[in-house]
Amino acid sequence: MPEKKGQKTYTGIIDITSRAVGYVAIEGFEQDIEIPHERLNTALPGDTVSIELDRGVRGRRQTGRVTRVLERRLKNAVGVIEKREKDMVLVCDDRRVYRPLVITNAEKAAGKEGFKAVVRLSDWSDPRVDPTGTLGEILGRKGEHETEMRAIIIRHDFDSGFPDDVEKEAKELEHFDISKQSENRCDFRSVPTCTIDPVDAKDFDDALSVKKLPGGQIEVGVHIADVSHFVRLKTAIEKEAQRRGTSVYLVDRTIPMLPEVLSNNLCSLMPNVDRLAMSAVFVLNENAEVVSKWFGETIIHSVKRFSYEEAQEVLDTSTGPLKDELFVLRDLARKLKAKRSDEGSIEFDQEEVRFKLDKDGKPIGVEKKPRLETNSLIEEFMLLANREVALHVHGQEKKPSNNLFIYRIHDNPVIEKIEELGIFLHAIGYDLAHRKGKVSQHAITNLFKQIEGKPEEQLIKVATIRSMAKAVYSTKNIGHFGLSFRYYTHFTSPIRRYPDLLVHRMLKAHLGGKPILRSESAHYERLAIKSSEREAEAVAAERESVKYKQVEYMMSHIGEEFDATISGVVEWGVYVEEVNTKSEGLVSVRNMKDDYYEYDSRSFSLVGRRTKARRALGDRVRVKLVAADLDRRQLDFVLV
């Protein structure tokens, strides 16, 4: 559509709901601009668009229309092939893509109805007709485990395999001789060193060493895989790592950022072999205060690979390998955590689930992941290393430097969102201390102490997280609100995160007296933004795979009763989360037969007109599963 002469336009990225309504965030407007379905003008989720605002809007959300799609985000669509009248079409898995894609090479789709496939979107400029696209890879029959997992991977623009040039470079590294690399590296091979990771981990990024010093001080080495020694600039491996941005962890597999020869072998800090590391070495006193620190290239030799459960058993029973070292680390970690909490650091721990799958990938069991003290132990030393590396490169020990660096930043919460959170919390019986939408870390920490162990704990934590800004990567440091750190980075996982690899290179340049200067900030800021985007896609893919398996698991339990917590209240019903599997579904108001329920927005509850019975956020309820729709990832419950 042509733009009206003289009317102001705005540019932004459009988000579209499953109801085909768009929203565009524009600087200077408190609320996102709403774009009704009929005014989307071919815009699809994630597109960069130009919009005009409607005039004369009063007392409701500002609306507008898309005048042009400036940049199309969707390149390859994933969905199910269907036959509609004379056409073969692809119905996208992403329900926000509100129109089917007409397949132009329909002969390739013949006999493939009900199969999942990839279609490359052609140019779409006329909203009066459906978009078109070329059918590419056919993934397999809908509902099969491998088909669905590959669909998730492709939809979020990740790849299971690596390009030929990457594989070629990786193969050339297979016979790399680490034993010849000790020169000019600090040798930690004689210091007791171990790794502590999930039981199924194969890529060991980090190891800890412990050595007691005279006077009661402790030397703790945080040793991180020296990925930058192997992944050099301008190589195919480097370019592919940059494109991927991160490893992805689905319910049944890992999609690594680096080829296996690096991620699971040369870079991985495996036990009983020499490995190259970038290390942050701290001398701590009995109060876990940093007395001195050193950063540099090392060679290490881990003597034990612990799972979190194995290390916890050593602590619980006081027997086992590296017992004394583990107790020293545990005691220091407790003090580090207490100090961090005193300084306002917020604990956002959320419950996660894991699945037991049969040979065909079907879920036959699901349980909440245990949160052990050994998880916290590792976390504290990684936080310490990340903070101290950022502080060191920034130069705050002496005076601010002009060094360029990649920070992990977390902005202060948006005022309007905190005010909304405060209203929500007050309605369910809690108060969040805030002033005109500004909140401190201590206020959130105090709230979390009040809800600890209560049925509504996870619900309130999720609501609080949603009110926060997203943590991202940037060359512009503003600190980390959630951790209450002035300086913070990601240094500890370069096997699986591209920004950590950049940080290693920057730290090495700084230590070598040739820091990367501000003149290169535009390039590195682009890399930081891209890394943040890839991280968001990886998180979305991981959540999608969990949601799919939750619904698939629950399909075999239709008709059974469960304990659940009300996790959401809307006019059309209540959302409930099953206690053990964390599966969420809807109890429709139509199926609440004991009364006629009406939505009370002040208390976030449904209230019975006759009985005044109240169904509110955080309530524990007993429910029965009555339906499960795997295509829509949807569960339907009724109250018992």
pLDDT tens, residue by residue, 563-577: 999 999 999 999 999
| pLDDT the model gives residue 183 | 86
Class of the CATH-defined domain 76-142: mainly beta
Can you tell me the mean pLDDT for 173-177?
90
User: Looking at the DSSP assignment, which residues form a beta bridge with residue 576?
Assistant: 566, 585
Using 50, 70 and 90 to split pLDDT, how confident is the model at 58? low
Can you tell me the mean pLDDT for 167-187?
91
Per-domain boundaries in the chain:
9-71, 76-142, 164-409+483-544, 415-468, 557-639
Percent of the chain with pLDDT over 90: 81
CA distance 302 to 323: 15
Does residue 415 carry a pLDDT above 90? no
| pLDDT the model gives residue 167 | 96
Class of the CATH-defined domain 9-71: mainly beta
**Residue 175 has which token pair?**
């016979």
| pLDDT the model gives residue 3 | 47
| pLDDT the model gives residue 59 | 66
| pLDDT the model gives residue 457 | 87
Using 50, 70 and 90 to split pLDDT, how confident is the model at 454? confident
What helix, strand, coil percent values describe the chain, rounded to 5? 30, 30, 40
| pLDDT the model gives residue 341 | 93
Cα–Cα separations (whole angstroms), residue 245 to 491, 525, 529:
14, 14, 11
Angle at 373 between CA 368 and CA 375, to 5 degrees: 70
- The DSSP code sequence of 79-132 is EEEEEETTEEEEEESSTTS-SPEEESSGGGGTT-TTEEEEEEE-----TTS--E
pLDDT in tens, 79-113: 999 999 899 999 999 999 999 999 999 999 999 99
**Residue 387 has which token pair?**
């903070």
Sheet containing strand 597-600, edge to edge, reads 597-600, 605-608, 614-616
**Contact present, 286 and 228 (Cβ < 8 Å):** no
**Residue 421 has which token pair?**
């959170």
Does residue 206 carry a pLDDT above 80? yes
User: Looking at the DSSP assignment, which residues form a beta bridge with residue 607?
Assistant: 598, 614
Does residue 621 carry a pLDDT above 60? yes
Indicate if 557-639 has the same CATH topology as 9-71: yes
* 205: amino acid identity, one letter: D
Q: Which residues contact 523 (CB under 8 A, 6 or more apart)?
A: none
Q: Which residues contact 97 (CB under 8 A, 6 or more apart)?
A: 44, 45, 74, 77, 79
**Given the DSSP bridges, would you call strands 634-639 and 620-629 parallel, antiparallel or unpaired?**
antiparallel
Strand intervals (E) in 162-267: 186-187, 193-197, 206-212, 218-225, 248-249, 254-255
Q: What CATH code is assigned to 557-639? A: 2.40.50.140
**Residue 549 has which token pair?**
């398996």
State the sign of the Cα–Cα–Cα–Cα dihedral 42, 46, 49, 53: positive
Does residue 209 carry a pLDDT above 80? yes
Q: How many residues are recorded in the chain?
A: 640
Q: What b/e readout covers 52-63, taking b as 16+ CB neighbours within 10 angstroms? A: bbeeeeeeeeee
User: Which is nearest to 73 in space by CA: 94, 52, 54, 87?
Assistant: 94
CA distance 566 to 578: 9
pLDDT in tens, 586-599: 999 999 999 999 99
Q: Which residues contact 331 (CB under 8 A, 6 or more apart)?
A: none
* 337: amino acid identity, one letter: K
pTM value is: 0.91
CA distance 583 to 585: 7
| Residue 65 DSSP SS3 | strand
Using 50, 70 and 90 to split pLDDT, how confident is the model at 345? very high
Q: Which residues contact 547 (CB under 8 A, 6 or more apart)?
A: 633
Q: What b/e readout covers 123-133, taking b as 16+ CB neighbours within 10 angstroms? A: ebeebeeebbb
Can you tell me the mean pLDDT for 371-389?
97
| pLDDT the model gives residue 400 | 54
Q: What is the mean pLDDT of the chain?
A: 93
CA distance 132 to 102: 5
